Amino acid sequence: MRIVAGTHRGHTIYAPPGLDTRPTSDRVRENAFNIVGPLDGAVVLDLFAGSGAMGLEALSRGAARAVFVERDPEAVRAIERNLDKLRLTARVVRQDVVTALAHEAGSARKYDLVLVDPPYDAYPDVQPQLARYLPAVLAEDGLVVVETAARVEPDLPLTLRTSRKYGSVRITVFEGGS
C-alpha cells in the first residue's frame, strides 16, 4: 500500500497483520480524495483508522492535523509505525470509536474532514451512533467520507454530496451546513 498523492506520494505504508483490518485500496482512496478536494490546513478525524491509510493520505495532501481512532492494538502499532516512518505527528486514540466520538463531541472539537471506514458488517449497528455524534464534531462546511460495502447506502442527518461505487466498495460523502 502506498500514499497516492501529496508530500509523501509513493511512500509505502504498513498494514496490521491478519484479516481484521481491510485497508482502503489506493484506487478507492484516490477517488475519495478527488471528491473531497483540497485539504490545506484541514483538521481530520480518522475513525476505524486501521492502518491509518486514509488519515495519512489526508496529511500528505496538506491537512494540518489528524486524530486516528482505532481500538485494535496491532492496528494502533501500525498507525504509529507509519507516522514514524513518514515523520508525521498526529494524535492516536486507542479506544472504541463510539466512545471516542462521544468524547470528541462532548469536548466541542470540530473537524473539517471525518473519515469513517468501519468493518463492513458492523456499519448497520454503528450508524445510529454516527448519526448522533457526527453532526456535533463536523465543522461548518466540513465533510464526512463513509466507506461501506457497495450494497450499503449510509444514511446520516447531513447533506448527501455524492455516493459512488468502486467494485465492491461504496464511498458516500456528506457535508455539513453552511
Residue 68: what are its φ and ψ, rounded to 5°? Answer: -105, 130
Q: Is residue 7 part of a domain?
A: no
Q: Is residue 33 part of a domain?
A: yes
Tell the burial category of 20 from Cβ atoms under 10 Å away from its Cβ (0-12, 13-18, 19+). exposed
Cβ pair 48, 79 in contact under 8 A: no
Residue 148 cell numbers, joined: 461501506
Q: Is residue 21 part of a domain?
A: no
| 178 residues of the chain, pLDDT tens digit each | 777 787 787 788 888 766 455 566 778 888 999 999 999 999 999 999 998 999 999 999 999 999 999 999 999 999 999 999 999 999 999 999 999 999 999 998 999 999 999 988 889 999 999 999 999 999 999 999 999 999 999 999 999 999 999 999 999 999 986 5
113, 120, 75: which is closest to 94 by C-alpha?
75
135: CATH: 3.40.50.150
Neighbour order of strands in the sheet with 43-47: 91-93, 65-69, 43-47, 111-116, 138-149, 169-175, 159-166
Q: Is residue 1 part of a domain?
A: no
Total of domains in the chain: 1
Q: Is residue 19 part of a domain?
A: no
Q: Is residue 3 part of a domain?
A: no
Q: Is residue 169 part of a domain?
A: yes
Residue with cell 470528541: 104
Q: Which domain holds residue 168?
A: 26-175
Q: Is residue 16 part of a domain?
A: no
